[in-house]
Amino acid sequence: MRKSTVFRLAGMVLGFYLLLPQCSRTPRDPIDLQVLRSSGDDWTARHDTLSDGGVVRLHHDKWLMYFLHWRPLTEERQKLSQEYVRDLMLNFWGPDMPFKLTENMGEMEVGGHKAYFVDGTIYDGTIQTRFIVWNCAETGRQLIADCNINLRKGTQPELLDLQKEITLSVSCHGAASVQKNPLLSRLYVSRMFNISFRTPETWKTEEYWDSAWFPNGMTPTNGTLWTLLTDSEKYVELRWQTRQSQISTGLFNRFVERIESDSVVSETTLRITDIKVRGTVANEECIIGHGNFTYNLSAGDREVTKPFRFSAFLWNHQDKTYFLLAGMASIQEFWGISPNLAPTDETFNRFVQEEVLANTRVLVEGCMK
């Protein structure tokens, strides 16, 4: 083969590969899923072709729970040991949570006190748990950090280790804890319970009201706090169709109706219903709206429903009209208790701007305003 022919073929092959990144930006992959997943979140994607366009639906959820219990420092609890902590994990929550212990256990220090930890699992390894236990003679109580993640929900295993870092920030007597880990920017302080510790900004701590445990209410020597996520579940839907000559609030509302009607007849277990647009604003390039919807998930013979808040965007780009909806769960009930886990405006807006819009490859500048 002549050299000129070889060079010509090599150039054709190189040209083909140079086009690949541009191909990945076509409607089949209009959102950069690889970047979304780079933080460790397990985004799942579903692509569908519609008669006049297409749709991609993205969903992510995670589940974790951090308890901090304290109980009176009785004579029995004074005898703190590795074996004591192992037995405590197996019996603390009763038969409803039959933990299996692992071989991971050891000693550490919390708030100037010697502490013991042990790991366990439940439900065939679905949930990983770590108990960290120490005694505080200064306040006459035993403290238990009860750390949990649900792997089936796609929760990153690293978040169990982050709960260890939260425990290291606990101040059970004396001054409030000092920030040592940049991931723990939120300070929880209770003067009533003489407790302080640090968590990530999007985690929220509340009192764990359990009438069986605390029939007369919690006290400085007998109580429980639990910390949950305010950004535990996210949903994104991007639709497109042949370009319309002009965008309008009427077209915006038709896209909203299409999401709900398509969801009802979908073959998946997920449904988006009761979408309510609370308001819209418009500029030359984009119509931006916000509102709420209900997320419905069929799980076996039961249906789980969750309220979501959303922002939505409508714009034209090249030969297509796009509609983007980005939602985050505002959970109001967990285990029959009513913690307020609605994301703050800052948390929600950061999700929309920095996760969704920043990684939407077909976006126009007007939607960022």
pLDDT in tens, the chain (369 residues): 444 444 444 444 334 334 444 333 344 579 999 999 998 889 999 998 887 899 999 999 999 999 999 999 999 999 999 999 999 999 999 998 999 999 999 999 999 999 999 999 999 999 999 999 999 999 999 999 999 999 999 899 999 999 999 999 999 998 766 778 899 999 999 999 999 999 999 999 999 988 899 999 999 999 999 999 999 999 999 999 999 889 999 999 999 999 988 876 555 667 899 999 999 999 999 999 999 999 987 766 777 889 999 999 999 999 999 999 999 999 887 787 878 899 999 999 999 999 999 999 999 999 997
Element counts in the chain: helices (H) and strands (E): 7, 16
Q: Quote the pTM value.
A: 0.86
Report the number of distinct structural domains present in the chain.
2
The answer to whether position 50 is within a domain reads yes
Q: Which helix (H) or strand (E) holds 129?
A: strand 127-136
**Shared domain check, 106 and 209:** yes
The answer to whether position 361 is within a domain reads yes
**Shared domain check, 34 and 75:** no
Read off the tokens for 11. Answer: 């150039």
The answer to whether position 21 is within a domain reads no
The answer to whether position 187 is within a domain reads yes
The answer to whether position 15 is within a domain reads no
The answer to whether position 280 is within a domain reads yes
For the beta sheet containing 64-72, the strands, ordered from the edge strand earlier in sequence to the opposite edge, are: 100-110, 113-122, 127-136, 141-150, 64-72, 223-229, 203-207
**Shared domain check, 81 and 183:** yes
Among 208, 229, 250, residue at a domain's last position: 229
**The pLDDT of residue 114:** 96
Please give the Cα distance from 260 to 249 (Å, whole number): 17
* 77, 135 Cβ separation under 8 angstroms: yes
**Shared domain check, 176 and 40:** no
Among 229, 258, 285, residue at a domain's last position: 229
**Shared domain check, 185 and 320:** no
Provide the domain limits for residue 192. Answer: 64-229
**Shared domain check, 255 and 166:** no
**Shared domain check, 155 and 70:** yes
* 181, 163 Cβ separation under 8 angstroms: no
Read off the tokens for 276. Answer: 């309510």
Burial class (CB in 10 A: 0-12, 13-18, 19+), 60: buried
**Shared domain check, 76 and 212:** yes
**Shared domain check, 176 and 90:** yes
The answer to whether position 96 is within a domain reads yes
For the beta sheet containing 302-317, the strands, ordered from the edge strand earlier in sequence to the opposite edge, are: 44-50, 53-61, 233-242, 320-329, 302-317, 286-299, 270-282
**Shared domain check, 329 and 279:** yes
**The pLDDT of residue 260:** 87
The answer to whether position 18 is within a domain reads no
**Shared domain check, 306 and 178:** no
Please give the Cα distance from 86 to 130 (Å, whole number): 10
CATH code assigned at 139: 3.40.1000
Among 214, 229, 244, residue at a domain's last position: 229
**Shared domain check, 330 and 216:** no
